[in-house]
């Protein structure tokens, strides 16, 4: 049972894990447009500004890589994958110890309901206006030096720290990861979610406030709402298949 909790990739049935990874990728893509660009945008802009002088001294490839903040996104992906692995392993262990097959289906249903709620027009319009959560004092003291430091290791550590920020969309994605059936599957699912959030944050880093104004438009919210609704349907279908 322990081996299954660690690396079982077939707990959701045929094509179940690819469907979950794809749904969480699209959730990250939608959330990046309506949520991450507003919540994490200040951190991205601060890093882009701190690296601007050193990036200008290099060629076009170096400038693009500096603006893309790849170490930061790698740190975020590592943190999200670790959270997903913990959630997936715990969900698999809970299901195995209790013998209740419907645990995974229940977790998927909860994730689906959260995605459907995110997809409503009213909530999608409100997401960018949500305040940034208050950071613990210890975390706040560590962020300042990391934001100002231009090195890739500082960017990686910053992304790793910020991956643990409290966020409703993150909890919804973790509920899906917890239903994946193993730590490995949960980590892969959350890696997909992290990859989905990258395009919007790249847009913020490269285009700054202009991109944030664009994603605040009605079309962006309509697109994100549609993606959230689609995610909800996919997750709900997986839950029904598991419970059947």
For the segment 137-168, what is each residue's pLDDT rounded down to a tens digit? 555 566 666 666 557 778 888 888 888 777 77
Asked whether residue 135 is domain-assigned, the answer is yes
pLDDT at 77: 95
Q: Contact at 8 Å (CB) between 151 and 66?
A: no
Exposure b/e, 207-216, CB count within 10 A at least 16 = b:
ebeebbeebb
Structure tokens at 176: 């899906």
169-183 pLDDT, tens digit each: 888 899 999 999 899
Q: Domain for residue 54, yes or no?
A: yes
Q: Work out the mean pLDDT of the chain and round it to a whole number.
A: 78
101 against 157, higher pLDDT? 157
Decide if pLDDT at 20 tops 60: yes
Residue 189 lies in a domain: yes
Token duo for residue 47:
């890093």
Q: With respect to residue 205, please indicate whether it lies within any of the assigned structural domains.
A: yes
Domain assignment present for 113: yes
Looking at residue 215, its pLDDT comes to: 61
Number of domains in the chain: 1
pTM of the model: 0.82
Average pLDDT over residues 117-135: 53
Q: What mean pLDDT is predicted for residues 108-122?
A: 79
Q: What range defines the domain where residue 110 resides?
A: 37-243
Confidence of residue 9 (pLDDT cuts 50, 70, 90): confident
pLDDT at 26 over 70: yes
Q: How far is it, in rounded angstroms, from Cα 130 to Cα 241?
A: 35
Specify the pLDDT at position 124. Answer: 47
Q: pLDDT-derived band of residue 224, with 50, 70 and 90 as boundaries?
A: confident
Q: Is residue 57 included in any domain, yes or no?
A: yes
Taking the C-alpha atoms of residue 40 and residue 130, their distance in angstroms, rounded to an integer, is: 12
Residue 201 pLDDT grade (very low, low, confident, very high; cuts 50, 70, 90): confident
Q: CA–CA distance from 244 to each of 7, 170, 237 (Å)?
A: 24, 28, 11
Structure tokens at 59: 């060629």
Domain assignment of residue 20, yes or no: no
């Amino acid at each position: 049972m322990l081996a299954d909790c660690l690396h079982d990739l077939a707990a959701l049935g045929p094509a179940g894990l690819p469907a979950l990874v794809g749904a969480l990728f699209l959730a990250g893509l939608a959330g990046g447009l309506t949520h991450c660009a507003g919540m994490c945008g200040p951190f991205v802009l601060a890093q882009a500004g701190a690296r601007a002088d050193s990036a200008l001294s290099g060629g076009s490839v170096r400038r693009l890589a500096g603006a893309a903040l790849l170490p930061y996104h790698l740190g975020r992906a590592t943190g999200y994958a670790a959270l997903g692995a913990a959630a997936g392993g715990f969900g698999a262990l809970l299901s195995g110890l209790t013998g209740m097959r419907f645990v995974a289906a229940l977790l998927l249903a909860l994730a689906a309901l959260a995605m459907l709620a995110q997809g409503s027009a009213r909530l999608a319009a409100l997401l960018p206006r949500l305040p940034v959560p208050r950071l613990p004092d210890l975390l706040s003291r560590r962020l300042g030096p990391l934001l100002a430091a231009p090195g890739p290791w500082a960017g990686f550590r910053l992304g790793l720290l910020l991956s643990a920020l409290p966020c409703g969309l993150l909890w919804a994605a973790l509920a899906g990861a917890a239903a994946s059936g193993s730590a490995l599957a949960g980590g892969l699912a959350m890696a997909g979610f992290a990859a989905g959030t990258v395009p919007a944050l790249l847009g913020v880093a490269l285009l700054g406030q202009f991109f944030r104004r664009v994603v605040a438009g009605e079309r962006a919210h309509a697109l994100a709402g549609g993606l959230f609704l689609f995610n909800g349907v996919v997750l709900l279908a997986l839950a029904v298949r598991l419970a059947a």
